[in-house]
Each structure stands twice: as structure tokens, then as C-alpha cells.
Amino acid sequence: MSQQPKSHESASDTHHGHSLGHEAGHGSFKGYITGFVLSVILTAVPFWLVMGNVFDNPTLTAFFIMAFAVVQIVVHMIYFLHMNMESEGGWTMMALIFTIVIVAIALSGSLWVMHHLNSNMMPMSPEMMRNMP
């Protein structure tokens, strides 16, 4: 019983600390510089991979491009958009996770369905092409 009010107090204390810590919500000079340097590296490497024809295997290059893009998006989220678990009582993170789920379904679903549709289409002969409306 004697524990309850104390924990309440500390919970509201930490909350207060977060809402007061406005610098955390806006980022710091160091944070922006870190994010910028990371972004420059994460942008330059995929461009270099493609423009310099570093790998002979395009699939490998594509894999690296995707990996770097995902990491850079996370870097931007953390250092520029200042995402964290605590902001707005976690609701920004919930909205983000929900959006990521929807985006993943929309992207993978479209690709999956349209790929099957494509491979089940009747191939078009040059004659059919010529007589197309």
C-alpha cells in the first residue's frame, strides 16, 4: 500500500522529465551532425556501387542498395525526425508501426498479385501486337 503512491509519483516524475526535455524532442547539434555524416556515407556508397560497377552481380548490388536504404531511413527517423518510444506516450511509434505494416502489405501484395497476373497472361504474338486497337 505504501508503495503505490510512491510509484505513481515517480511515474509522473519521469513523464514530467520527458515533456520538459524539449531538447530531446528537437535534437542537438551533435545529433544532427551524426545523422548528416551517416546519411552522406549511406547515400554515397550505393551511388558508388552502381556508378562504379563495383560488383558484377546485379542482384548483389540490388541487395546492398536495399540494405543501405533501410538503414538510412532508420537513421533519418532517429536523428532528423527524432522518433523514440516515449514521444506522445508512444503514440507516434504506434502510428509508425501501423503505417509500416500497411505499407508492407500494399507493396508485397501488389508485387505478388501482379507478378502472378503477368506470368499467367497469354503471350502476345507480333501479329496480335500489330492488330491491337
Partner 1 sequence: MSDTNVQEMEKPEFYLREEHHPEESTMIGFWLYLMSDCLIFAVLFATHAVLGRNYAAGPSPADLFDLQLVAINTAMLLFSSITYGFAMLEMERGRQKSTLVWLAITGVFGAIFIGLELYEFIHLIHEGAGPSRSAFLSSFFTLVGTHGLHVTFGLVWLVTLMVQVSIHGLIPANRRRLMCLSMFWHFLDVVWIGVFSFVYLMGVLG
List of residues contacting partner 1 (CB under 8 A): 1-2, 4-5, 8, 11-12, 15-16, 19, 22-23, 26-29, 32-33, 35-36, 39-40, 43, 46-47, 50-51, 58, 61-62, 65-66, 68-69, 72-73, 76-77, 80-81, 88-89, 91-92, 95-96, 98-99, 102-103, 106-107, 110-111, 114
Please report, to the nearest 10 degrees, the dihedral formed by the alpha carbons of residues 104, 108, 111, 114 taken in order.
Answer: -110
Report the residue number, 47 or 128, with the smaller CB distance to partner 1.
Answer: 47
Nearest approach, Cβ of 120 to partner 1 (angstroms)?
15
Nearest approach, Cβ of 22 to partner 1 (angstroms)?
8
- Rounded distance between C-alpha atoms, residue 68 and residue 49, angstroms: 11
DSSP 13-53: HHHHHHHH-HHHHH--HHHHHHHHHHHHHHHHHHHHHHHTT
